[in-house]
Amino acid sequence: MAKIYTVEWTPAILAHPALQIGMAANWWGIVGEKLTKMLGRISKSSDIISGILGSGAEHDGAPYSLTEEFVSVYRMHSLVPDNIAFFSASSGKHIKTIPVPDSTFDKAQPPLHENPFTLPDAFYSFGIKHPGAITHNNYPSFLRNLPTPDGQTRDLGTVDILRDRERGVPRYCAFRRHLRMSVPKTFEDLTGGDAALAGELREAYGEDGLERVDALVGSHAEPVIPGFGFSKTAFRVFILMASRRLKADRFIGGHGEWSEGTYTKVGFWWVQNSGMKDVLGRHFPELGALLERNGGRNVFAPWVKMEESDKYRGVETNAPA
């Protein structure tokens, strides 16, 4: 089966408007970025009004950690493409396309040393590339027969499922109940009416096996809301975990720690006003013009391709909408 690609860039999750809005609300609250920067926190303690930053660190009775549920929905191996197409960051010309297995483990360095690639070339190449869609029947074939440096060969698709089961992650329906979300009554409900996919799940789990569907399988099988890169089930966990991560960090959530006293005046300005675009432009000045071509777009969104790059017709940079 041919690999299914999405129209977004590899860290597509960060570029989706819904998650951007959610993350901005976590960071600045309903007051918003501009007013907060002008006046400081309007509310000393309300996350909703002035965001989590400086609202007061809180562990909610348990030390912060990545939950097994978060780890489960973050198993996004479907994102991994079959090939990596490299382009020149100066001319935009296609240099070479390399199968992903030829750039992993002990093969990670040779592509950069044996070919005329530079780090700016690599960043530009990934900036215009499409990842695999986070959906059913889209697991990379090479990850299901993966030789690892320890001499073993692993099927990561199987490993992903077994890890969830062994570590007590609830199955899909129970998972959604814990999140106070509705639960499908039939396989067709789960797949949003996709009869063929519902039939595959029914064959795998049994006619009465809806409650046995694994969390990862179910979240990949449910229909994706337009504009989202992954399922609503995964999105719910992401938003909860993002908030928890900020709130539990005393250097971000703490009343006194999120301040110039901790970061210095220059440092505090830096963390509030610098983004990935600034980091890339600072370390790789040759990417400056390319980043400016994107205008005010989030740097995690697909970059504008140079004319020479547009001549490459491979699926890596031309996934269908």
Known active-site residue 74: yes
Element (H, E) at 195: helix 195-205
153 forms beta bridges with: 147
Pairing of strands 153-154, 146-147: antiparallel
Three-class secondary structure of residue 96 per DSSP: strand
What single-letter amino acid sits at 196? A
Measuring CA to CA, which residue among 250, 270, 249 is closest to residue 260? Answer: 270
Nearest to 15 by CA among 100, 131, 93: 131
What is the CB neighbour count within 10 angstroms for residue 38?
A: 7
Q: Which of 5, 64, 74, 312 is catalytic?
A: 74
Q: How many CB atoms lie within 10 A of CB 62?
A: 9
Please check whether residue 140 is in contact with residue 15, taking contact to mean a CB–CB distance below 8 angstroms.
no
Backbone angle region of 159, left / alpha / beta, with phi > 0 → left and psi within -120 to 50 → alpha:
alpha
The alpha-carbon radius of gyration of the chain (Å, integer) is: 22
Q: Cα–Cα distance between 157 and 242 in angstroms, integer? A: 26
Please give the positions annotated as active site: 74
